[in-house]
Each structure stands twice: as structure tokens, then as C-alpha cells.
Structure 1
Amino acid sequence: MDKKSNIRNMSVIAHVDHGKSTLTDSLVSKAGIIASARAGETRFTDTRKDEQERCITIKSTAISMYYELTENDMAFIKQCKDGSGFLINLIDSPGHVDFSSEVTAALRVTDGALVVVDCVSGVCVQTETVLRQAIAERIKPVLMMNKMDRALLELQLAPEELYQTFQRIVENVNVIISTYGEDENGPMGNIMIDPVIGTVGFGSGLHGWAFTLKQFAEMYVAKFAAKGEGQLSPSERCKKVEDMMKKLWGDSLYIFFYIYMYAPHNLSVMPNIFLIYIRSLSLSPFKLQAFEILMSKSSIFPKKILAPKGLITSSFLYSRTILMMGRYVEPIEDVPCGNIVGLVGVDQFLVKTGTITTFEHAHNMRVMKFSVSPVVRVAVEAKNPADLPKLVEGLKRLAKSDPMVQCIIEESGEHIIAGAGELHLEICLKDLEEDHACIPLKKSDPVVSYRETVSAESDQMCLSKSPNKHNRLYMKARPFPDGLAEDIDKGDVTSRQELKTRARYLADKYEWEVTEARKIWCFGPDGTGPNLLMDVTKGVQYLNEIKDSVVAGFQWATKEGVLCEENLRAVRFDVHDVTLHTDAIHRGGGQIIPTARRVLYACQITAEPRLMEPVYLVEIQCPEQVVGGIYGVLNRKRGHVFEESQVMGTPMFIVKAFLPVNESFGFTADLRSNPGGQAFPQCVFDHWQILQGDPQDPASKPFQIVAETRKRKGLKEGIPALDNFLDKL
């Protein structure tokens, strides 16, 4: 652990059921932690009972493994090294899309990623998602093509077909890397994978063998250099192949990690600063937290975390340090920089994640950006009202334990849990009931988060007067051009950008006036959302004095829209004119903030308001004969297919479709019952789409949704009338 150049921190990421946990088992057995005979069955990194029962990974799990390299293999490691003993801190992450936040958290504390791909199924939708997450976190990927035994035994592919399959997978992965990655001159350099340079491995985690082209090259060198090699009898040849396969596994994959992944100390930027990034918090006070200790120039400034002396600033932040070993933990006295470690007791100071540092003027490390959104909600309440304090405490602990889940208290007093999907919510509710609150719960049916938007420019100039009638705000609303909201979500347009750069981007891509694009007051809600407040006034006095108050009203209005108090999306509000009292005491926040909110609501109502619903991208693998049944299920659920293709060399088809999240409840069960249980769907949040129909028309579907949402939130029946917000001169 002290040899920082001999440490590798890595994550295992992949699509669901592509063999991550089985592969990790084989690595763990090679490190001598479990018996080789049980590798693939033990699922050592699946630590929860429900993970073992469902045979899926739900929570990321860390494990540390030690391995000795031979002199021949040491010659291939170009980075500096300290001896032949190496330590791998490996995190096995989930593959199911509902637990993508765990993948993001695992990637945040590691320096390399092993991308596992089933060589029969190929690159799937979640493979692209996790690769995109890795590149966003500037993690170097290497590829492992798993389940080669299926290609050889089930499909019985010929050598040429196998080669074409491998080539197609490498090409697909490189397309994703080139799409989302930086250029070769960026900080990460060239991260394209290539079997020739050794960044691609091949093997079978279940049967415990693997290789890279490097191993084959070494075998051919030995074969052609030795005399009499070709005279082996058939029985001797079989024995030789069996021995060779035993040697191939583990060694080749461990060498793979050491050669092509970075050591933590090579990633340093600032000297002499001690940093800990807090990735996630434990499920209970008796379990542990996973962190990474980041240290710059650690060889010059060798700082350690000491177990009994966790004194930082003026209070003890943690009581002891722990080394995580899958389903077990080992107490450890001190942890050098560059390792992944558990700190017991630090969760009392944190909500979800955080940064501990000795640098007085440090900034927090960047907040994790997730590839999924918590769009599915469920209301919970205690069966016994006397247990309400336990429920509140349990919700706090649940929010700490999961990076993605949101626990909200509505104005009506309802407790809401928001998750990424049905399975994620099911696991969260189970944890809340059994581990966190430990009380019986009543749960509502799942509901979906919606967004409010507008479809046209306001049909009149909207005016609102302040309560004292001395101030007036004139504004209009209009919809975003297509693509701008997505650019804000991706971070291409942000509030922190340089003013001229952002204005030029908006002018070039969306044909905005440069002078107008420079007058963005703020983004909302929460200062980063996909709505804009623009200043298009000319020669208005005292405008800057009320800017903060108008921005506060804008954040309020975009957080709770006028239709059913859902977030606004893709709306631009223009401030056209302002009439203000000359005396500052009459234009304070108490006068301007509610006035701004009222005029923004008036703008929304006069700009043809619409409701937006979240939409899943569904990828379904199935045999050809059940494709017709899939179309029938999707048609009943308001879904539509946009792509259908056959997996080359197999009888399997891949159907891609868009499916509204509101229609996705029970979709998996319907799909497996109708086409005979041979269809396997994977749903990932893709985009927001406008629901057809006017929310103000009683015959439309959006009107019904608005009415149901307002009733659930305890709001007055019916959308408020325009007269409540619009004033007259």
C-alpha cells in the first residue's frame, strides 16, 4: 500500500448480465481470496442477500487484491514502478440501468475501467451509457470480451466469423469513445482501444481463462524457437492445451491492468494538498463508507490517514479506518495516499458526498453528474402514526446511502421517494423498511415526474404590479429552439461559461443575436436548469438593484410551475420593461419577488402551456419469432419502434423503441408473458417529449394528468385563472 506507483484503482463496468461479477470472482480466486473451484458461483462481491437471490449486482463493492509480476511482464510496464508486487483496488459495479448512479460513484474514485462486453450480445445500450460515464469522469477504459465459451460452444462460430464478431465489437466501442471523448491532444490522450497495443482482452470468466494478443505472441515465439514442437502426439497436445489454459487466466488479465492503467500518483495536479473524495455513505451506522484518498506529489509530501487520530480542523471526523474486502472488512491502522478506504463515523457530517482536505481555501470536488434521472416517484407513510419520527430518520439515512435517490416532503406533508425506475424504487423501499426506518410502511402506486413548458410566444405583454402598486414588471415567455435544453443538460451551455464564448455558441448554433445572448441573467431552477431569464430592456433605471429579487422569483416560478407545481423546462422569459419607485425602500425583495413570480406565471399561461413526459429508450433482445408480439405490447403502451436489427451470426434480434415512463410500469412482465418469456428488455431514460393536447382542455389527457397531480399534491382544483396573475394599467 505504501508503493504508490504499484497501486491500480479500477472499476468493472458493463451492460447487465455480461459477466462482471463472475469475472471479478475469477480475479479474486487468482488472488487467493476464494477457492478456484468456487469462482463464478460465489459472487464474492455481491454482498447483499437480495443480490444473491436476484443474481444481479445492486451496490458497488470494493475489494483489494495483491499480485506478483514476473520479470518478463515487468518489462512491458512503461510507468515508474517500485518492485514486482502490485495492489489492485477493484470496484465491481452494477449493470442494470436503474443503478447507474452506483457506476458513476465507482468511476469517481477509480483511475481505470475494465469494460466487459458479452461477445455474443455485443455492445448494448448500457455499455454505451457506462462508457460515456467513464469518459466524462476522464477514466481510461480497457475492453474485455467475455463469454467466449458461448461463441465457441453455443453458436459454434468459425474462426473467420469469430474474428468479424470481435472486430465489430472493437469498432462499436471505438465509435462510442470517439463520439464522447476528447481529441488526442486532450488531457487523456489517445484512449482508443486496439488489440494490437494490448488494450483488448478475450476470455471466459465462468470457465476461468483469458488472454491478450501479447500472450499469443509469446506462445508463438516459444513455439517457433523450440525444436521438435510439431512432433507432439495428439494426447500430449491436448495435455499441453489444458496446461496452457490454466496459465492463461488471471495472469494475463492482471498484467493487462498493470500495463495499461494509471497509478494514482501519476494523476496529480497540485502539490502538497491532502484530499479525500467521499463517494458514498453506508447503509447503516455499523457499515462503512468508500472513499478515495487523492494526493498530489505524494512522494514529496507523504501524508497518511491514521486511525486513532482523525483530527481535521477542530473536531474528530472519523473514528477508525477500514480496508474493504468484498463482503468482509479488515481494520487497518493507517492508509497511505492513493488507496481506497472506509472511514467509520464521517457520515454524521455529510448528506450524500463531500470532500475532506487540509487545504484551507479548497473547493469541493465536482458533484457527480448521473446518466439517469429520478423520474419515478412513490409516496410512503408509516402504518402506525406514532412511528413518524422513525420514518423521517430512515428517509435521511436512505438519502445518504444512495447517490441517486431523492427524499422529498411535499407541502401537503406527504413523504416522496424518487428513483430511476421500478427496480430502483423497489430496492430503496425494501432498504427503508428493513434497514433504515425498521417500521411497517404503506406505499402508494408509482407515479411519474412531469415537466411544464410552453409551445408558443406569449400572445400579449404580461404586466404585474407589486403589492404596494409602485413597481411594474413587463415580461413575455417563449419556447427554446430544439436542442438547447439538451445542451444545457449536457453542460455545453452553463451559467459558469465565459460570457463571450457562450454568446458566440448561441449565436452560431441557434441564431440568437450576440448582444441579446450576452444578457442572460440566470438559469433555473437551482441556477443550472434548462430555463433562461433574459434582459431585453433598453435604458431602464435601477434595474441592477432589483436583479437579485427578479432572479429569486424566477427560481421560485421555474421550480413550481403554474399548471401543477412541476419543474419548468425549455422556457425563455424576457424582461421587456420595468417601472420602479425612485425610493429604494419601496422596491425591496418583499415587493419584487412575488411580483416576478406572478408575471412569470402570467407569461406561462399566455404562451400555450404544455406538459412534458419522460421517455425511456427500450432495447429488447429476442428471437425472430417473437418480434411481432413485442410490437403488439409496445403499441398498447404508446411506444413506437424506431430500429430493428439482427445480431450478426445469431438468431437474436435487437428491437429499439421509445416508451413513455408512465406506461412502463408492468412492461417487463407483459413482455415476458406475451412473447413466451423470450424477450429481455432494458430501459434507460432518454428524453422529455411534449404530451399531445392542451392542459386547459377538459377532454385532453394532459388535463387529466394535471388534475390528478394537483389532487395528489393537495393543491386547489383546476389551473389558476390568468386574472390571478395579470394586472392592468
Structure 2
Amino acid sequence: MDLTARVSRALRAIDGAIVVVDAVEGCQIQTEIVTKQALQECIKPILYINKVDRLIKELKLNSHEIEKHFENIIDKFNDYIEIYAEDEFKDKWKIIPEKNNVGFGCALNPSWGFTVNTMLNKRLKFENILNYYKNGMEKIRTLSGILPLDKCILDMIINHLPSPKIAQRYRIKKIWKGNLNSYVARNMQACNENGPFIICIHKILFDKHVGRISIGRIFSGTINSGDEVYLLNAKENNRIQQIFISMGHKRENVNSLTAGNIGAFIGLSKATVGETLTQIEFKDEIDPFENIKYVSEPVITVSIEPKHPKELPKMLDILNKIEVNDPDIKININEDTGEYLISGIGQLHLEIIANEMKNLGIDILMSDPIIVYREGIKQRSPLISIKSQNNLNLIQISLEPINEDQIKEILKHRKILAIDYNNNLIINNLKQDYLDDKIKQIIIKGIKMALNAGPLCEEPIKGLQININSLKIDKKTLEVDPLQIMLMGKRAIYNAFLKAEPTIFEPIYKIQIQVPMDLIGIITALLLQRKGKILDVEQKSSYSFITGLIPVKESFNLASDIRSKTAGQAFWQTIFSHWEFIPYDSAQKIISDIRVKKGRKAEIPKADFFNNN
């Protein structure tokens, strides 16, 4: 299962990471993804190569071949650092065995581990470890005492991962976009326990005895039990009722915690993942932390209902708790059918959610999965003017397609009203710099109504730059009937969208499959049959690693096909890769089918339908 969302949240709270790689399989898709995530948050990675015993027992490699194998893994890992690390860290953070920032070993049966320095101090060579494995299990077990794994890992952490006081000097500018010369920023960069307290929440848990538990990293100041705090995103005050820290699986109550620590807080009823807490007197001086960026996206949807209708309230309560804890889950209600819809990153993900609900005491019925699409445009729209139904309000907009690279440049130079998780930007091109906050919020709400369900088939819209060029708002309408203004914004988006060569995107998985060499042909044929693409075939010892792309809709039941055609000898993993345009001619049937399933007419409305409707 893809756990990148949970990794993304955890990374906000830490300063260093140990990336664990299987000695036989080497660096795979998930290795690159989690390393990229860490480096994008300015988190220093070190490397541990695990399951080294497999190279000895399964592949029967000699010491020279094992050393070469290690070199290949380290070179690949350093490639990730070269590609994704900030320029100032590309050389400093690279893995060099002689620096002892890479460990080698085996975590189980028995556990042992070493760095280059360990072997030099004990005057050992890898040939000695091979000899232990030649002399039976009794001899192998003694490796735990000679090369203790816990000491290997702890030494690497102590010697190579930064303290909060060091890491926050360079991390704050990456994860917080406020004024870096301000009093608040200087205290965060210094990890000053005497500064104003600033906390970023990265995880929410629910406990049947104490309720919601918010877990977060303290970047500045000291927080005390009983303190009143301000939630920047929720825009409200809460009081810390209790603080504790985790010691293994136990909770230790504390009266206070200082900057650099990770704490668990009870009493924050409105906190969500990504929330920023601070002292009330500093609420107007502090910007919230950057939103946590998730790699995966929900791409498969099912409808669910409780097996016993009377358990509907219980099901909704459990769903709400799961959604708070799992950012890869999206829950919606179909307003026409009343169905409860859950979207996740794959079939296995949704099956795990269903099993989790069963463990919490509720059986559910789940429909067959359907694919989540995105709507988008391929060219710039003309300038569109739309009035409200009472003819007293007017908005003039144009749309154009944008990608992530363009967004970074636009954010530097343009006046942005809003940005959402689908990379849609609302840009203020009005002559006046100031826009009344109430008007701004009403316009944004109307536009987001359109972005959440596009005109083609009511799927979310992505990659849109919305230029607001002219705006006339009647004050009486704003006070008495703001819905007219919101619907005006929605209709303007629909009208312009349908005049800009619209179509839909389908989700694409990146897939990596490990198979014996004699099964390469079977696997490549299977992927091609499912409209996949082969990107790379790499041979490592007796295995081949096939990397490719496959449409999510073609991945249904892929697991059973791979197992049956390889007699269970293949191992694979998938991760969301990107959204891919479907040519409009090919997309028309898909759009019509989705519209009919949602209770709409099969035909897409004309743009002019939204002039006055």
C-alpha cells in the first residue's frame, strides 16, 4: 500500500530520516518518492541497507559481488540527492560509506548491523560475516553481540542527523512563508524556547477516553498545560487541557514542553492536520505553515452504506475520524442519490478502510470501484462577461491552462486571491489593489463551486488559471442575496471553460514489477494488453525490475492476473504518477457515461446555456 501521505505528515515534524532499502531489491519507486518528499522538506536523509543476509543466502554472492551491489544502491540513492536536494546540500548530504552515514545489516533472525567505522574498529571484513553464515545458525546468532544493530543505527543518528537548533536555521524558510526577518521568524530559526510558542499539528488521533488528540512539533517557545492558544486556520481560541509525550507505546504526562519537541495535546477540538497554533497576542503577526504537500491523490471511488441502516450515524462518525487521520481519503455525498462516496488511492487502500471500519464495529456494503477523473482545458478562453440574475452584478473573466512549473513563477509576480489542491489559481487582474474581504470570499466560493464539479461531467477541475479582469458588485445584493453573486461566478467559469477546448484527464499509476528473468515477456505483454507503457527494464542478479506506466482503470484485478501468470513469483508496487489528457473524441463516451451515472443528460450543455441560467 502507498503510505506517502502518512510520510508527508510525519516529515513536517522531524529534521532527519533513515531511509531503509532492501539489499536485494535496491532503490525502488517508493524509495525515490519518500526520499524526494524528505528532501523537499529540507530533511537530511541517511541510508540503511537491510536484509543483507538475502545476498548471502538467496543470491549466494561473494564479498566482491556484495560490495559492488552496495555501490550500485548508494550511487542510485545519491542520484536522488543530486536531483531533489537544495543546492547547498547536494554535496554535504551525499552518502559516503567512509563517512559512516550508511549502515548495512539484517533486522531479523538474528539482527546485526555495521558501518565502515564499526568494521575497522573491530578489525573485521565482510568475508568474516560470510564465514559466520557458512558455519551454521549458532555461529550466525553471535553476530548480534559482535555487531549490534541498535548501536549501528543510534550512532548514525547521533553523528549525522541534525538537532532542532541546527535544522530550523535552514528548514523554516522552506516550510514557512512569512517574513523571515520578523521577530517570530528569528525565534523559530533559533528554536528559541523563550520566544512566542508556535506549533504545527501533523497528526490527529481519537481516544475513547479523552477524545481528539492533536500531535505537533513545537518550533518556538514553551507551551504549558492550561495555556490558551489561537488556531490560525480555524480562526478560534482553544485551551490546552493536557500535554503528554510518547515514550515507546506509553504516554508520559508533562506540564510543559519547549521548542524542538514533539508533543500530544488534548483540548484542541477544531485542530486539523496542518493547523498552526500560537499565542493569542501574536495571532495577527504570524502566518500559518505551508500546506503539507501530498504525493498521492484519490483516484478510485466507491459508494458505501452500513449493512444495518440503523448504524448510519455510527458509520458517519467513523468516516469523519478516518478522513481527519487519512488525507488520501475523500468523503462526499451524492446530492441526487444520497449515496456516501469514498475516494482513495487504490483498491487495496479502500479495502483497508473497509476492514478498519469493521474492526471498529460496523459492517459496510461497498459498490464496485469507479475511476475519478479531472476536467481541464487545452487552450485559453475568450474574455467572458456574465451578469447576475438581477442584472445588478457583473464579472468578467478569462481562463488558461497552467502546470506546476508555471504556478511557481506566477506566485512570485501576480496578485493571487486563492489556490486549491488541484492547482487552480484565482488571479486578481482588477485595477484596484484592494478588494473588500467579504466580496472576495463570496467570489471565491462561487468559483470553487464550479471547480469542485466541472460542466463536462461534474468531476473536479484542475490546472486552471482564472483571471478576474472586471468586477461590479451591488451592495444590496451582497447583503441580502449573496448566492446570486456566487452563482454568477460559477456560471462564468462554466461558460469560459466550455469555450476553451475542454476535455478530461485520467489518472496514471507508475508501476514497478520484480520478476525472475524468464518471466519478463509475460509481464511486459500483460502491461501492454492493459494499455501500459514500459519505461525501463533493469536486471539485478537473478531478478528483472520492470518499470512502467498504466492507466488506473486498467489496474483493476491486475494483482490476480500477475499472480496467476507468474505462479506467485512476481512482486510489484504502484504509486500515483500523473494525470493524462484524454483526447476529446475519445473522452466523449466516458463523459457521457459518467453524466448518465450521475443522473444527468448524456449531452454536455452548450456554453451559452450558462449565460443566464
Structure 1 length as normaliser, TM-score? Answer: 0.69
Tell me, yes or no, if the aligned pair for 1:113 and 1:139 is still in contact at 8 Å: yes
CA deviation profile, 1:645-688 (whole Å, cap 9, x unmatched): 212xx121111111111222211121111222222121111110
Tell me, yes or no, if the aligned pair for 1:463 and 1:727 is still in contact at 8 Å: no
For 2:512, the equivalent position in structure 1 comes to: 619
Tell me, yes or no, if the aligned pair for 1:280 and 1:402 is still in contact at 8 Å: no
Tell me, yes or no, if structure 1 residue 404 matches structure 2 residue 328: yes
Structure 2 counterpart of 1:329, one-letter code: K
Tell me, yes or no, if the aligned pair for 1:281 and 1:347 is still in contact at 8 Å: no
2:386 to 460, 464, 482: 464
Q: Equivalents in 1 of 2:105, 2:159: separation in Å?
A: 18
1:253 to 153, 159, 165: 153
Tell me, yes or no, if the aligned pair for 1:381 and 1:441 is still in contact at 8 Å: yes
For 1:434, the equivalent position in structure 2 comes to: 359
Alpha-carbon distance, 1:605 to partner: 1.6
Taking a change above 3 Å as real, the CA distance of residues 584 and 352 of structure 1, as seen in their structure-2 partners, is closer
Taking a change above 3 Å as real, the CA distance of residues 572 and 579 of structure 1, as seen in their structure-2 partners, is closer
Alpha-carbon distance, 1:616 to partner: 0.4
Tell me, yes or no, if the aligned pair for 2:243 and 2:256 is still in contact at 8 Å: no
Q: Secondary structure at the match of 1:627?
A: helix
For 1:555, the equivalent position in structure 2 comes to: 448
- The within-5 A match list for 1:286-297 is 286=209, 289=213, 291-294=215-218, 296=220
Tell me, yes or no, if the aligned pair for 2:36 and 2:84 is still in contact at 8 Å: yes
Q: Equivalents in 1 of 2:164, 2:252: separation in Å?
A: 23
Alpha-carbon distance, 1:295 to partner: 5.3
Structure 1 counterpart of 2:71, one-letter code: Q
1:109 to 4, 9, 13: 13
- The within-5 A match list for 1:137-148 is 137-148=41-52
Tell me, yes or no, if the aligned pair for 1:352 and 1:399 is still in contact at 8 Å: no
Tell me, yes or no, if the aligned pair for 2:114 and 2:152 is still in contact at 8 Å: yes
Alpha-carbon distance, 1:156 to partner: 2.1
Q: Equivalents in 1 of 2:309, 2:143: separation in Å?
A: 66
Q: Equivalents in 2 of 1:424, 1:151: separation in Å?
A: 32
Q: Equivalents in 1 of 2:444, 2:239: separation in Å?
A: 39
For 2:163, the equivalent position in structure 1 comes to: 263
Q: Secondary structure at the match of 1:179?
A: helix
Tell me, yes or no, if the aligned pair for 1:283 and 1:401 is still in contact at 8 Å: no
Q: Equivalents in 2 of 1:473, 1:304: separation in Å?
A: 47
Q: Equivalents in 1 of 2:46, 2:599: separation in Å?
A: 52
Tell me, yes or no, if the aligned pair for 2:23 and 2:50 is still in contact at 8 Å: yes
Q: Equivalents in 2 of 1:151, 1:290: separation in Å?
A: 43
1:203 to 74, 88, 105: 105
CA deviation profile, 1:137-183 (whole Å, cap 9, x unmatched): 22211111111111122222233322221111111111101211112
For 1:30, the equivalent position in structure 2 comes to: none
1:354 to 275, 278, 282: 275
Taking a change above 3 Å as real, the CA distance of residues 431 and 317 of structure 1, as seen in their structure-2 partners, is farther
1:662 to 535, 549, 553: 553
Taking a change above 3 Å as real, the CA distance of residues 595 and 276 of structure 1, as seen in their structure-2 partners, is closer
CA deviation profile, 1:685-724 (whole Å, cap 9, x unmatched): 1110012343xxxxx5x33432343344444553223331
1:447 to 361, 370, 374: 370
Tell me, yes or no, if structure 1 residue 710 matches structure 2 residue 595: yes
Alpha-carbon distance, 1:211 to partner: 0.9
1:420 to 329, 333, 345: 345
- The within-5 A match list for 1:205-604 is 205-206=107-108, 207-220=110-123, 246-249=145-148, 250-268=150-168, 269-270=189-190, 271=192, 272=194, 273-286=196-209, 289=213, 291-294=215-218, 296=220, 303=222, 309-312=225-228, 316-319=239-242, 321=244, 323-325=246-248, 328-334=249-255, 336-337=257-258, 338-343=260-265, 345-346=266-267, 348-358=269-279, 360-361=281-282, 362-412=286-336, 413-435=338-360, 438-458=361-381, 462-469=384-391, 473=395, 475-480=397-402, 484-485=403-404, 488=407, 492-493=408-409, 497-499=411-413, 518=414, 522-524=417-419, 526=420, 529-533=422-426, 551-573=444-466, 592-604=485-497
Tell me, yes or no, if structure 1 residue 133 matches structure 2 residue 5: no
Taking a change above 3 Å as real, the CA distance of residues 179 and 119 of structure 1, as seen in their structure-2 partners, is same
Q: Equivalents in 1 of 2:596, 2:268: separation in Å?
A: 37
Tell me, yes or no, if the aligned pair for 2:32 and 2:80 is still in contact at 8 Å: yes
Q: Secondary structure at the match of 2:87?
A: coil
Tell me, yes or no, if the aligned pair for 1:405 and 1:419 is still in contact at 8 Å: yes
Tell me, yes or no, if the aligned pair for 1:274 and 1:294 is still in contact at 8 Å: yes
Tell me, yes or no, if structure 1 residue 633 matches structure 2 residue 526: yes
Structure 1 counterpart of 2:154, one-letter code: Y
For 1:643, the equivalent position in structure 2 comes to: 536
Alpha-carbon distance, 1:201 to partner: 1.0
Tell me, yes or no, if the aligned pair for 2:300 and 2:343 is still in contact at 8 Å: yes
CA deviation profile, 1:81-115 (whole Å, cap 9, x unmatched): xxxxxxxxxxxxxxx42x21222222222222111
Alpha-carbon distance, 1:606 to partner: 2.2
Q: Secondary structure at the match of 1:360?
A: helix
For 1:61, the equivalent position in structure 2 comes to: none
For 1:183, the equivalent position in structure 2 comes to: 87
Tell me, yes or no, if the aligned pair for 1:523 and 1:529 is still in contact at 8 Å: no
Taking a change above 3 Å as real, the CA distance of residues 464 and 108 of structure 1, as seen in their structure-2 partners, is closer
Structure 1 counterpart of 2:275, one-letter code: G
Q: Secondary structure at the match of 1:668?
A: helix
Structure 1 gaps, min length 5: 1-95, 223-234, 500-517, 695-699
Structure 2 gaps, min length 5: 126-133, 169-188, 230-236
Structure 2 counterpart of 1:384, one-letter code: H
Structure 2 counterpart of 1:379, one-letter code: S
Q: Equivalents in 1 of 2:578, 2:476: separation in Å?
A: 45
For 2:70, the equivalent position in structure 1 comes to: 166
Tell me, yes or no, if the aligned pair for 1:530 and 1:571 is still in contact at 8 Å: yes
Taking a change above 3 Å as real, the CA distance of residues 356 and 626 of structure 1, as seen in their structure-2 partners, is same
Taking a change above 3 Å as real, the CA distance of residues 555 and 401 of structure 1, as seen in their structure-2 partners, is closer
Structure 1 counterpart of 2:161, one-letter code: M
Alpha-carbon distance, 1:128 to partner: 0.5
Alpha-carbon distance, 1:448 to partner: 2.1
Structure 2 counterpart of 1:219, one-letter code: K
Alpha-carbon distance, 1:573 to partner: 4.5
Alpha-carbon distance, 1:548 to partner: 6.5
Q: Secondary structure at the match of 2:560?
A: helix
Percent identical = 30
Alpha-carbon distance, 1:612 to partner: 0.6
Structure 1 counterpart of 2:583, one-letter code: Q
